Structures are given as structure tokens and as C-alpha cells.
Chains A and B, each alone.
Chain A
């Protein structure tokens, strides 16, 4: 049984159909890519899974149990943590305090320091996050998500705004993280090199519909995907 099952989810904003009966899943231990052109509904899917949005139709099950009985702030208790497309850090707080908030529901703050070491952020521990370069901020956000001790991690365009070098490191890092913490990762990413390099499986969204699913190689060979997405310069 997959760890996460998104089933027939539809989400409308006024006239816009952001998700149109979308289904996909992720099995425990997988890195699953979720790709598609801008406006395809990827972030909306994340917001539905993390309960920030309640969809018009459909269900999302985690570990076999619907998430709709869980409050938005209770989602992390189920072991689901996320990062945001446009870094959502607590800008008035230090790096360590940001990470401590990630561990809000955990006891003690030893784990926050451990996460900083793991993420190689200890040298900026007490700096205000707003002082840090964008790439470092993204790492702080990832550290904050890890501090909750999650089972499932949703990453919304983690490579966005990073340099070429940083993206390569990120790819290696995401895999290592998955192995070290036995995570399941759902990865939204525009950077095709990254997704195709590390994902076990890829789902493709276009205009709110899932148009393809498969291994990176299968998806890259799929003509409708090429039309919808790969032809569009990113």
C-alpha cells in the first residue's frame, strides 16, 4: 500500500480549475517527482496534502487514513513536513529559532542543534535568517522541516534560485537525506536535470490534470509530456 494516496482530487478557485480529478501516490522510501509547467497545480497539490486547502472533491490518505480528519497544524504530527516554493522563513528570528519552531511539537531542543550540524548550518546558528543568502535560507527551511522528525517530506522547488553548483549538491543531498532518515519525498521541481537524476518515479501535471506517470526515462519519452512541458523552455 502506498504511503501517500491522492485520489481524484479537484480544486477550483473561482473559474480556475487548479486540480482536475488528480490521482497520484508515493510509496514508502520513494523519491517521487511531481512536474509540470507553471500553473499546472503542483503547489496547489502540496497545499491540499498539507491541509492548507480543502479540495472540492477527492480524498488524500496517508498511511491508509484520510488526512481530512486532521487539522492543518496537526498534519506535521502525522509525520508530514514541507518546504515552500518562495521561502517562508520566520524572517524576524535567528536560524536556530527557525529550526526550533520546526520541532515545536517535539520535546527539548537538542534535536534542533543536531539538525543544524547535519545541514552544515552551525556556523550561522545565531544569525537572523534575513541576513543570509537565498541558497542558505533554503537550507534553513529544509532544516526546519527535518527538525520535526518527519516521515514524509514535500519539497516545493528546492532548486529554485540556486546556482548550478548548489543544484548538483542538492541532488546528492536529497538522496542522502532520504537514506539517513528513511524518508519518503515528494519533489516538485522545474529543474529537469535534478528530478530526472534522483526521482524513482515521476508524475506529470498539466493544467490541473495528471497526463503521465512513470520512471524518469518513461516520462521523458512520453510524447504528450514533451508537448506539454519539455518543449517549453524553463
Chain B
């Protein structure tokens, strides 16, 4: 067992070092981009717990991010009974509110599986953006809510973008460790057992209602924290900040990251950010292939590119980035074993 621990510990140390040092080598704007990647990473960690480790699919995690984002916006703009909260303190609350929403969604999810669960959660993703429009007094309607610009805490001589970067990745690393401890522990074993065989899990004394809703709640907590950070970085929320397609992007990121590979989610998050913001670049690359010409400026191209990349990745790497690393590592260690 100890032999299995060190690769993950050294991977974590490497990630922590890179995270700490990266801003020194990149521009302020890049630091902001990387912060957004960190937010997707947090959301993907949550989705990995739900789908990768518990086997429940959700096409509605963008909605949990939106719940987190709106919680932060409402608490820091309108406040709680007139008392405005500092953006930092709204983050855990946003996670909890989204987490509770996740528990609530988890209850009907118990009766559904596979395609039906995908449809229901996608329904949540589709209908959630209507909520702020319907109750515009509370949610600010289509205009949304404008937050104060995030400021580094007093005395910290850093730029706003660097501050958001460190805040996001600091939280991301803590939540990574938390997820790692969770999936290795008794609860994580119960999650995985349900994923692999519900009947055997039940017969071993694992309560499906308890653990499946718990997985939904924890997963939504992660998404809520991610959405909260996104609102803080953006300094405004409206229904377009958390579009329906976000939920789909998250599932794509999850698949690319490798479902049950926590570290792989970094790759998934980077892909989401890259394809969302640099789809035109990818479209130009694709145009180098014979007989293809995508107009990078046309609307809808990001989705097309996203789809193409997804198909290519899934065909070449069905187990995602995490699976690739594991395979390479497996080759390496089996060499070592056979030599000794």
C-alpha cells in the first residue's frame, strides 16, 4: 500500500510547487487565465467524485456553479439582512448552498440511472438560467448583479489577478487533498462499491440513499465553490455567465481528465478553458488538415471544435489523461518489478 502512496504524494508536491511558482513566470493576464482553469479544476474534482467514483452522471453541474456564483453575488451585493459579506467569506457559504441543492437533487436521482439521470440533470441545467429572469428582483434579472472588484487583502502587495490566482489555487489544492482523502477512505470505498455493483454494495450493508445523495451533495459543494470564485473573478453574474453549455463542457473535461483521476482533472480543466477561449486557434490548426476549412470567426465554431477534440481524445485515449499517466506509470513500474 505504501508503494502506491508515493507517486500520488510526489505528484501532489509537484503540482503544489508549480502552482506556487507559476505566477512568477507568466504575465498578469495569464495568471488570471490560470485562475479560471483552477475554478474548472475545482468543479471537475466534484464531478469526478460523483461520476468517476460514484458512477452517477450529471449534465447539470453548471447549475450548481451558478448557484454558488449567485450566492456569492447576492451575499456580497445585497448582503444578508442588509449586512454585506466580504467576498472571501461567501465562498464556503456558496459551497454549502450549492451542496444542499445537490443533496436535494440527489434524492430523485436515487430512482434514476444512466440516461434518465443525464436527462433530468440536463433539465436542471437548462431551466436554471430561467430562474434569475423569473425572480429578477432577487437575482437581478438578465442584467445580473455587479460585485465590487476583488481586492487583495490589505497589506498583500499583489495584483488583483495574482490574488485571484492564489486564492483559487490555494482552495483548489485544499479541496484536492480533501477529495483524495475522501476517495481513499471508507466513504470513498462505499462510493466506488456502488459505482461497480449496486447489488453487491447493498448486500455489504452500504445504504444507497445515504451514499448516493451524499456524493451529489459533496459534488455540488465543489461546483458551488468554483462558481463562487468565478463570480468573484468576473465581478458580475448574470444568466449568461453560467450558460447551459457549461454543464456539457464540464462533462467533456471530466472525460478528458479520466473520470476517476483527481490529478487528471487539471488536464480536463485546462482543455475546457482552452477550447472555450481559444477555439479559433484550434480551428486554424484543424484547417491545416486537408479538405477542411472552418471559419474561425463563425459562431458555433467553438462547439464544433469542442466536439471534434472530444471525439479524437476519446478514440485515442478512452481512459483520459489520468488513464494515460497510469498506463505509462504502470509500464514503468512493471519494468522495475520484472527486473528485480
Please list the residues of chain A having a beta carbon within 8 angstroms of any beta carbon in chain B.
Answer: 50, 52, 71-77, 81-82, 84, 88-93, 96-97, 100-102, 104-105, 126, 144, 148
Chain B residues with CB under 8 Å of A104's CB are 186, 189-190, 193, 204-206
Chain A residues with CB under 8 Å of B195's CB are 90, 92
Chain B residues with CB under 8 Å of A90's CB are 192-193, 195-197, 200-201
> Which chain A residue has the least Cβ–Cβ distance from B4?
A126
- Asked if A102 meets B192 with Cβ closer than 8 Å, knowing A89-B197, A90-B197, A126-B1, the reply is no
Give the distance in Å from the alpha carbon of A214 to the alpha carbon of B139 in the complex. 73
Give the distance in Å from the alpha carbon of A194 to the alpha carbon of B3 in the complex. 41
Asked whether, in the complex, the Cβ of B196 is within 8 Å of the Cβ of A89, the reply is yes
Chain B residues with CB under 8 Å of A75's CB are 203, 205
B207 on the A face (CB < 8 A): yes
Asked whether, in the complex, the Cβ of A101 is within 8 Å of the Cβ of B203, the reply is no
9 contacts between A and B (CB under 8 A): A50-B203, A52-B202, A52-B203, A73-B205, A88-B199, A97-B189, A97-B192, A100-B189, A148-B205
B215, chain A: closest CB distance, angstroms: 15
Chain B residues with CB under 8 Å of A100's CB are 186, 189
DSSP class of B's interface residues: helix, strand, loop or mixed? helix
Asked whether, in the complex, the Cβ of A84 is within 8 Å of the Cβ of B205, the reply is no
Give the distance in Å from the alpha carbon of A76 to the alpha carbon of B207 in the complex. 11
Give the distance in Å from the alpha carbon of A73 to the alpha carbon of B193 in the complex. 13
Asked whether, in the complex, the Cβ of B206 is within 8 Å of the Cβ of A93, the reply is no
Asked whether, in the complex, the Cβ of B203 is within 8 Å of the Cβ of A93, the reply is no
Chain A residues with CB under 8 Å of B87's CB are none
Within 8 A of A (CB), among B159-214: 186, 189-190, 192-193, 195-197, 199-208
Asked whether, in the complex, the Cβ of B204 is within 8 Å of the Cβ of A144, the reply is yes
Asked whether, in the complex, the Cβ of A73 is within 8 Å of the Cβ of B192, the reply is no
Chain A residues with CB under 8 Å of B260's CB are 92
Give the distance in Å from the alpha carbon of A72 to the alpha carbon of B207 in the complex. 8
Asked whether, in the complex, the Cβ of B189 is within 8 Å of the Cβ of A84, the reply is no
Give the distance in Å from the alpha carbon of A172 to the alpha carbon of B79 in the complex. 71
Asked whether, in the complex, the Cβ of A105 is within 8 Å of the Cβ of B205, the reply is yes
Give the distance in Å from the alpha carbon of A77 to the alpha carbon of B207 in the complex. 12
B77, chain A: closest CB distance, angstroms: 44
Asked whether, in the complex, the Cβ of B190 is within 8 Å of the Cβ of A101, the reply is yes
Chain A residues with CB under 8 Å of B3's CB are 126
- Asked if A88 meets B204 with Cβ closer than 8 Å, knowing A97-B189, A100-B189, A101-B189, the reply is no
> Which chain A residue has the least Cβ–Cβ distance from B195?
A92
Give the distance in Å from the alpha carbon of A89 to the alpha carbon of B195 in the complex. 11
Asked whether, in the complex, the Cβ of B199 is within 8 Å of the Cβ of A93, the reply is no
Give the distance in Å from the alpha carbon of A92 to the alpha carbon of B191 in the complex. 11
A155, chain B: closest CB distance, angstroms: 13
Asked whether, in the complex, the Cβ of A101 is within 8 Å of the Cβ of B202, the reply is no
- Asked if A93 meets B192 with Cβ closer than 8 Å, knowing A88-B200, A126-B1, the reply is yes
Asked whether, in the complex, the Cβ of B4 is within 8 Å of the Cβ of A101, the reply is no
Give the distance in Å from the alpha carbon of A102 to the alpha carbon of B189 in the complex. 10
B1, chain A: closest CB distance, angstroms: 6
Give the distance in Å from the alpha carbon of A89 to the alpha carbon of B197 in the complex. 7
Give the distance in Å from the alpha carbon of A84 to the alpha carbon of B196 in the complex. 14
> Which chain B residue has the least Cβ–Cβ distance from A102?
B204
Chain B residues with CB under 8 Å of A89's CB are 196-197, 200
Asked whether, in the complex, the Cβ of A74 is within 8 Å of the Cβ of B196, the reply is no
Chain B residues with CB under 8 Å of A81's CB are 203
Give the distance in Å from the alpha carbon of A96 to the alpha carbon of B1 in the complex. 10
Chain A residues with CB under 8 Å of B206's CB are 73, 101, 104
Cβ 8 A contact of B199, one of A52, A97, A102, A126: A52
Chain A residues with CB under 8 Å of B4's CB are 126
Beyond contacts A101-B193, A126-B3: 4 other A-B pairs, Cβ-Cβ < 8 A, are: A73-B206, A75-B203, A91-B197, A104-B204
